[in-house]
Amino acid sequence: MIDTMGVILTSHNDSGFGEITRMRSVAAIPFAGRYRLIDFVLSSMVNSGIINVGVATEYNFQSLMDHLGSGKPWGLARKKYGLTFLPPFAKSSTNDGDEHMKSLYSILHYIKRSQQKYIIVADCNNVCNLHFEAIVAEHKESGADLTVVYQKQPVAKHGTYIAVDGDKVQSIVASKDCVGESNRLVGYYVFTKDLLINTLERFQLLGKKYFIGDLINTYIEKHDVRGYCFEGYLATIEDINDYYNVSMQLMDSSVRKSLFIGENRILTKVMDRVPTKYLGKASVKNSMIADGCVINGKVENSILFRGVVVEEGAVIKDSIVMQNSVISANVRIGACIIDKDCIIRKDKELVGQPNFPIVVGKHRTI
């Protein structure tokens, strides 16, 4: 898809994530043992043949830059096009408006300079393995000005919902007016680029500040907007409870198969580690274990990232333990999220609930 570029918006309200976004953006949150959240949308773009991808950042993006690097693991370390970081051009003098609109205004110069005819604007907080090629093909065939991706889902606490007639988007619907299964926007949009540029320039003069309320709503009212219903597995992570629950869904083999098994792989930063070592007292059931771990305790229904040490007598259940953390002897943890480089000293007990997991921040010792 040489005529299509991608823009990933990493600016996202992180107030619901607590400790795990204290030192990183939402896009850089570790997930599934070896990935970051941005890997899913970035891999979907690359697997669809997109070779020009811009990553719009706003704050706390050092961890994200370290993870993505030159883009080599995704085949984006290129002489022409490739991966481009787009830090904020200037600090906004007002807190009005949303992060997505601010990001688009800030990177308008980059969009203008790119040579592609179509642009995919995507959120960074979805977990899915999606083919953008099919969505862009429908966008071209229909002659639409904008194609939005949606899923039929029960109404949830987060989300924007639309009314669709066939493939034509009629309006945005308030969540309170939705009954039963509704059409939720998932945060992927295919624009015809020239019209998007003209609209953003006009909106800047008019002082428009909201991505959904101003930009998307104006497109629906004045232009041809089509909907693309995605029927595969897709989970949106909006807060710490979503992160925990979606991570626990990976214990279901059908979810893992939908995400990781197939022609299109989810790519990530390569880290050379030795295989995990299971010692004499190790017991592991229904868990995802990354490489480089040393396990001599009990792990059940949990996710262990690279380099985690589980000492003798330790018990880990229904939990997420991130890279290079140490779970000492006779520790018991349940329904916990342990961030990177933490040490839980021996004989401690941390037990949360699935709807209220305990979160231990990065570099902490307990």
Tokens representing residue 302 in the block: 């949990």
* CATH number for 14: 3.90.550.10
pLDDT at 199: 97
Q: Which is nearest to 189 in space by CA: 167, 160, 216?
A: 216
Which residues, listed in sequence order, are joined to residue 156 by a DSSP beta bridge? none
- Residue 94 scores a pLDDT above 80: no
* CATH number for 327: 2.160.10.10
pLDDT band at 158 (very low <50, low <70, confident <90, very high): confident
Residues 178, 179, 183, 186, CA torsion sign: positive
Q: Are 343 and 233 in a shared domain?
A: no
Least confident of 148-152, 259-263, 323-327: 259-263
- Residue 92 scores a pLDDT above 60: no
Q: Are 281 and 173 in a shared domain?
A: no
pLDDT at 272: 86
In tens, the pLDDT along 167-196 reads 999 999 887 777 778 999 999 999 999 999
Q: Are 18 and 151 in a shared domain?
A: yes
Structural domain harbouring 256 = 4-260
Least confident of 130-134, 173-177, 297-301, 344-348: 173-177
Residues 41 and 267: beta-carbon distance below 8 Å: no
How large a percentage of the chain has pLDDT more than 70?
98
Do the domain assignments include residue 332? yes
Pairing of strands 161-165, 146-154: unpaired
Q: Are 130 and 32 in a shared domain?
A: yes
Give the span between the Cα atoms of 185 and 51, in whole angstroms: 25
Do the domain assignments include residue 25? yes
Amino acid at 291: D
Q: Are 152 and 103 in a shared domain?
A: yes
* Rg of the Cα atoms in the chain: 21
247-279 burial, b at 16+ Cβ within 10 Å, e below that, comes to bbebbeeebeebbeeeeeebbbeeeeeeebebe
Q: Tell me which of 228, 260, 292 is where a domain ends.
A: 260
Q: Are 336 and 290 in a shared domain?
A: yes
Q: Are 242 and 310 in a shared domain?
A: no
Do the domain assignments include residue 309? yes
Q: Which is nearest to 55 in space by CA: 72, 42, 73, 40?
A: 42
pLDDT at 331: 98
Domain count, the chain: 2
Mean pLDDT of 4-10: 97
Looking at per-residue confidence, does 325 or 61 come out higher?
A: 325
pLDDT at 91: 54
Do the domain assignments include residue 267? no
Which residues contact residue 327 at a Cβ distance below 8 angstroms, ignoring those fewer than 6 apart?
297, 308, 309, 310, 311, 314, 316, 321, 333, 338, 344
Q: Are 77 and 118 in a shared domain?
A: yes
Q: Are 127 and 164 in a shared domain?
A: yes
In tens, the pLDDT along 10-20 reads 988 888 999 99
pLDDT at 174: 80
Do the domain assignments include residue 296? yes
In tens, the pLDDT along 291-321 reads 999 999 999 999 999 999 999 999 999 999 9
pLDDT at 89: 63
Do the domain assignments include residue 271? no
Q: Are 44 and 183 in a shared domain?
A: yes
How large a percentage of the chain has pLDDT more than 90?
87
Q: Are 17 and 136 in a shared domain?
A: yes
Tokens representing residue 261 in the block: 């098994």
Mean pLDDT of 135-145: 97
Distance of CA 140 to the CA centre of its chain: 26
- Residue 236 scores a pLDDT above 60: yes
Least confident of 87-101, 146-160, 346-360: 87-101
Q: Tell me which of 260, 295, 316 is where a domain ends.
A: 260
Q: Tell me which of 200, 225, 260 is where a domain ends.
A: 260
pLDDT band at 59 (very low <50, low <70, confident <90, very high): confident
Do the domain assignments include residue 135? yes
pTM of the predicted structure, to 2 decimals: 0.95
Q: Are 138 and 281 in a shared domain?
A: no
Class of residue 137 by CB neighbours under 10 A (exposed 0-12, middle 13-18, buried 19+): middle
- Residue 93 scores a pLDDT above 50: no
Give the span between the Cα atoms of 328 and 296, in whole angstroms: 10
Do the domain assignments include residue 77? yes
- Residue 208 scores a pLDDT above 50: yes
